[in-house]
Amino acid sequence: MSAAASGTHTIGDELTVNRLGFGAMRVAGPGVWGPPADRGTAVGVLRRAVELGINLIDTADSYGPHVSEELIAEALHPYPDGLLVATKGGLERTGPGEWPRNGRPEHLRSACEGSLGRLRVNQIDLYQLHAPDPDVPYADSVGTLKELQDEGKIRHVGVSNVTVEQLAQARSIVDVVTVQNRFNLTDRTSADVLAVCEQDGLGFFPWFPLAAGYLAQTGGPVDEIAARHDATPGQVALAWLLQRSAVMLPIPGTGSVAHLEENVAAAELELGDEELEQLEAAGDAAT
């Protein structure tokens, strides 16, 4: 079993990764707040992810806050060649489940500095603006990432939670190589953003990739197709994402080695064209 079965995508014309990655939000404590119940388990999940061929890990300063980045460094630094750790800045944490946006230039600068220190690197390979802040001109936030790139602190820039218009605005300021938006079988509202990414070869991280669990509970088509392939509904949801687009880079998150292994095995699952259509129809019906 290996994430390599998902195929590869090259980020920014130079960083080639296996398309099935890992979202490191869930290695923090409940509510993505504080340390995990068992630090050893969290470190073990991160190490097992890399053993299983995952070389794309997504995190953010706000996960914990700081806990996810610290665990990644504890588990994996010095990083093996070819491992891309992508982080994000632009949100604050004021309590469990609270994520106020802060896209002010001074905040983004200090967030980036903090991530460099916690990840123990001199340059972040992929730094993503977590979300537009309605109280700050988007151009000011994106412009700060451009400055950080010019200063060598960031190698590549990504954006997250954007509309087609915001993506175009960001790309008028800096070379954007990835987008991270919510996207799954039952929520394809970002299909227009994905289409831009496909057309221009930008990587697309669909967050919340496993929300199809909702469909699985109904005894509906996800269940049936999963049974046909001797797979779980979550694996079908991930396989659908991987087959939906060549630029799709799913980052399912978990704090459990067993779930991680189940998710990586989805890279080997091949769905037929008819099954893909059935799944999309079911996704439409559920929304």
Ligand X SMILES: NC(=O)c1ccc[n+]([C@@H]2O[C@H](COP(=O)([O-])OP(=O)(O)OC[C@H]3O[C@@H](n4cnc5c(N)ncnc54)[C@H](OP(=O)(O)O)[C@@H]3O)[C@@H](O)[C@H]2O)c1
Chain residues that interact with ligand X, rule: CB under 6 A: 23-26, 58, 130, 160-161, 180, 207-211, 234, 251-256, 259, 262-263
Q: How far is the CB of 281 from ligand X (least distance, A)?
A: 21
What are the start-end ranges of the H helices in the chain?
Answer: 39-51, 67-76, 105-119, 138-150, 164-171, 191-200, 213-216, 221-228, 233-244, 257-265, 273-286
Which lies closer to ligand X via its Cβ, residue 13 or residue 135? 135
Q: How far is the CB of 13 from ligand X (least distance, A)?
A: 23
Which lies closer to ligand X via its Cβ, residue 149 or residue 160? 160
Which lies closer to ligand X via its Cβ, residue 122 or residue 237? 237
CB contact burial 147-184 (16+ within 10 A = b; e otherwise):
ebbeeebbbbbbbbbbeeebbebbbebbebbbbbbbbb
Q: Is 127 a catalytic residue?
A: no
Residue for token pair 């005894």: 219
Q: How far is the CB of 25 from ligand X (least distance, A)?
A: 3
Which lies closer to ligand X via its Cβ, residue 152 or residue 286? 286
Q: How far is the CB of 266 from ligand X (least distance, A)?
A: 9
Which lies closer to ligand X via its Cβ, residue 51 or residue 150? 51
Q: How far is the CB of 274 from ligand X (least distance, A)?
A: 25
d(CA 249, CA 159): 14
d(CA 60, CA 39): 18
Neighbouring C-alpha atoms within 13 Å toward the C-beta of 175: 11
d(CA 110, CA 222): 44
Q: Which of 63, 79, 127, 138 is catalytic?
A: 63
Instruction: Find the residue with minimal CB distance to ligand X.
Output: 23
Q: What are phi and psi of 171, to 5 degrees?
A: -70, -15
Catalytic residues: 63
